[in-house]
């Protein structure tokens, strides 16, 4: 794209003057959209429509962006961290490849990250950010709600999110991967009711970040059913989705939380702006099981589009506004963890465009090229980004007959565990073969439920499950790539999956991921 185009030019002064003359107050003039937001009475709106430079007049509705944060999961913000919580603080970045990044001396230096959030209460005094203050790495702040530079009020969600990018524990343990990046902090929403749409604040903050040279934009906010219908989660209806796509067009990598509606039976979908095609939508993983949390919003986005894109821990340790540390959950924190990884990768190769980096992060997912609507491509791994091209050794086979396709582990796949032989009778009503799993390892199934199979006869007792990371991920995708069904199974025996061919239409692809390797079977 050109370094500058018409969307970078200021609005024509005469057009802006005419709008000012026919409205009560001009709130914001957008270069990106060649538009003006203003207060106007019905009579003034009619006059505005008649102006020669005005294409259309649209109402700006009041709505509230919701932080993608859940309730605290530790009893007190003032109590010291437990040994388990300290371990979690290490794991939230080590699982992304913190050690490999540290060895390569990658910490986000030279990158500028904009954080758009509710407020940053405590950031200006918390010891977790002392290095940022000392090195003057918070280079600019602005409150777009009050149009003032001070952002250290209003709420602490931004403080918690920033700590997953650049926070540090008292013992020096980082909470995020981009501890040496520069930061732009923007407050874009109120904690409670607001007078004007916060989507406008988000757009204003994104344009501000662009003017100040932001490389990465992280937003852990989103709109859902409080304003939009399901079919409007199409990446182009909401103002924030259009603004996010424009930010990506300007060269920023836009990273957004997927949302916390996965356990809401009436919604479940990715919110906006995470629904935008050019936004890297990040889902939440459970640190105990490495599976998608129940609360993490899932896809598909409208039109069957693939969302979320990747995932990271959604239960983390963060800096709280009281000067201490808390254990919280939400996709709010998975997003900045991935944004910090992106900063490190971009630090290593500044020739990458934002969209090439976007694709590299997807391709570094631990499940790639497997995808499903709960995990995306999985957790991006630094080792795959720093040393691409490493492939796992296949450890399973497709065995097909005239009416069934089976996925069977090779005898050498897991030599440390005795595995039983395949049992025809051990078939569940969902068409899968697996032993019982704990509640947090329950299967995630797509919206189009399969036809039930006959109940099994003479079901054999399943052996003791393997470790919590021994899973088989599988989905069925049609010829357009849309996933009709997906599931995660706990591997307890050699015959992982037994699927009647009636479940697949001609051309459908059964794609399976086990232990780092993905293979597929296509029905003729």
Q: What is the pLDDT of residues 443-488, one digit of tens each?
A: 333 333 332 223 233 333 333 333 434 789 999 999 988 999 999 9
Pick the catalytic residue from 296, 297, 332, 354: 332
Pairing status of strand 315-319 against strand 325-329: antiparallel
Average model confidence (pLDDT) across the chain: 83
Q: What is the pLDDT of residue 269?
A: 80
Residue with structure tokens 């030599």?
415
Q: Taking Cα atoms as reference points, which of 38, 16, 36, 35 lies closest to residue 25?
A: 38
Q: Is the pLDDT of residue 75 over 80?
A: no
Query: What pLDDT digit, counting tens, does each position of 178-197 carry?
Result: 999 999 999 998 765 544 46
Over its C-alpha atoms, the chain yields an Rg (Å, rounded) of 25
**Catalytic choice (22, 23, 117, 219):** 117
> Residue 117 catalytic?
yes
**Catalytic residue status for 157:** yes
What distance in Å separates the CA atoms of residue 336 and residue 376, rounded to the nearest whole number? Answer: 17
Instruction: Give the integer Cα–Cα distance in Å for 388 and 271.
Output: 32
Query: Which own/partner pairs from 456-460 qualify as long-range (CB within 8 Å, at least 24 positions apart)?
Result: 456/425, 456/426, 456/427, 456/428, 456/429, 457/425, 458/425, 459/425, 459/426, 460/420, 460/423, 460/425, 460/426
pLDDT tens by residue, 209-219: 999 999 999 99
What is the distance between the alpha carbons of residues 399 and 395, in angstroms, rounded to a whole number?
Answer: 13
Residue 302 banded pLDDT, cuts 50, 70, 90 = confident
3-state DSSP percent of the chain in helix, strand and coil, to 5: 25, 25, 55
- Residue 183, both tokens: 């930061």
pLDDT score of 232 more than 90: no
Reported as a pLDDT band with limits 50, 70 and 90, residue 434 is very low
Q: Active site includes 332?
A: yes
Residue pointed to by tokens 């582990």: 409
Which domains can be identified in the chain, with CATH numbers?
6-49 (no CATH), 84-386 (3.40.50.200), 396-522 (no CATH)
CA atoms 48, 51, 57, 62: torsion sign: negative
Lowest mean pLDDT among 19-28, 102-111, 170-179, 223-232: 223-232
* Sequential DSSP letters for 311-327: EEESEEEEE-TTSSEEE
Q: Which of 22, 126, 142, 157 is catalytic?
A: 157
């Amino acid at each position: 794209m050109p370094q500058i185009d018409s969307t970078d030019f200021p609005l024509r002064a005469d057009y802006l003057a005419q709008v000012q003359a026919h409205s009560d107050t001009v709130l914001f003039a957008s270069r990106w959209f060649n538009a003006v937001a203003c207060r106007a009475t019905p009579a003034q709106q009619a006059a505005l429509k008649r102006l020669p430079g005005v294409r259309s007049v649209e109402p700006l509705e009041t709505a509230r962006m919701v932080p993608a944060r859940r309730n605290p999961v530790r009893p007190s913000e003032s109590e010291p961290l437990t040994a388990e919580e300290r371990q979690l603080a290490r794991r939230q970045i080590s699982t992304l490849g913190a050690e490999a990044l540290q060895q390569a001396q990658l910490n986000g230096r030279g990158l500028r990250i904009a954080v758009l959030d509710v407020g940053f209460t405590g950031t200006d005094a918390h010891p977790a950010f002392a290095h940022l203050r000392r090195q003057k790495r918070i280079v600019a702040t602005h409150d777009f709600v009050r149009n003032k530079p001070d952002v250290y009020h209003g709420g602490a969600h931004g403080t918690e999110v920033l700590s997953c990018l650049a926070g540090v524990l008292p013992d020096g343990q980082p909470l995020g991967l981009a501890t040496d990046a520069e930061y732009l902090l923007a407050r874009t929403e109120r904690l409670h009711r607001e007078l004007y749409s916060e989507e406008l604040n988000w757009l204003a903050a994104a344009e501000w970040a662009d003017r100040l040279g932001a490389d990465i934009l992280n937003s852990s906010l989103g709109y859902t059913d409080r304003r939009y219908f399901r079919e409007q989660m199409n990446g182009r209806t909401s103002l924030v989705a259009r603004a996010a796509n424009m930010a990506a067009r300007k060269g920023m990598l836009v990273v957004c939380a997927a949302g916390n509606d996965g356990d809401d039976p009436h919604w479940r979908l990715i919110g906006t702006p995470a629904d935008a095609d050019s936004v890297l939508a990040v889902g939440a993983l459970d640190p105990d099981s490495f599976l998608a949390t129940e609360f993490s919003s899932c896809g598909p986005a409208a039109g069957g589009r693939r969302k979320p894109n990747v995932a990271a821990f959604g239960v983390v340790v963060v800096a709280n506004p009281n000067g201490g540390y808390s254990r919280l959950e939400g996709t709010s924190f998975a997003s900045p963890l991935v944004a910090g990884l992106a900063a490190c990768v971009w630090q290593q190769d500044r020739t990458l465009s934002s969209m090439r980096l976007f694709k590299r992060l997807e391709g570094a997912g631990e499940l790639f090229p497997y995808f499903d609507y709960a995990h995306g491509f999985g957790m991006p791994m630094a080792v795959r980004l720093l040393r691409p091209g490493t492939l796992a050794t296949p450890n399973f086979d497709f065995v097909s007959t005239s009416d069934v396709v089976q996925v069977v582990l090779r005898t050498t796949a897991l030599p440390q565990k005795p595995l039983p032989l395949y049992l025809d009778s051990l078939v569940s009503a969902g068409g899968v073969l697996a032993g019982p799993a704990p509640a947090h390892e329950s299967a995630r199934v797509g919206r189009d439920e399969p036809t039930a199979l006959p109940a099994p006869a003479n079901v054999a007792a399943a052996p003791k499950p393997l470790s919590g990371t021994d899973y088989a991920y599988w989905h069925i995708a049609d010829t357009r790539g849309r996933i009709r069904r997906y599931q995660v199974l706990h591997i307890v025996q050699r015959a992982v999956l037994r699927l009647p061919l009636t479940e697949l239409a001609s051309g459908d692809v059964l794609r399976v991921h086990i232990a780092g390797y993905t293979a597929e079977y296509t029905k003729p």
